[in-house]
Amino acid sequence: TSPSLSQKPKSELVRTSLRLLTSSAYRLQSECKKTLPVETCPTTDIQLVTQQVIQCAYDIAKAAKQLVTITTKENNN
């Protein structure tokens, strides 16, 4: 049985949210490593790294909220 049109957008939204979540988590890990003493070099702009960490955390929260919204709507139907 093929999925109905109403199911397809939900699954695409879930995939999109999961991609954002995983890519943001990977970026967050990468940015945080830049603050470690071993990784830090004199040219490391800590303010820029901090802004990147904040943006990654925001993207993770956004993706998580999207997933909660999707699953809540799905469970209420």
User: What is the pTM for the complete model shown?
Assistant: 0.72
- The pLDDT value recorded for residue 10 is 77
Walking along the chain (77 residues) 10 residues at a time, the average pLDDT comes out as 53 89 94 78 82 95 92 76
What residue segments make up the domains of the chain, in order of their start? 43-76
Burial of 17 (0-12, 13-18, 19+ CB in 10 A): buried
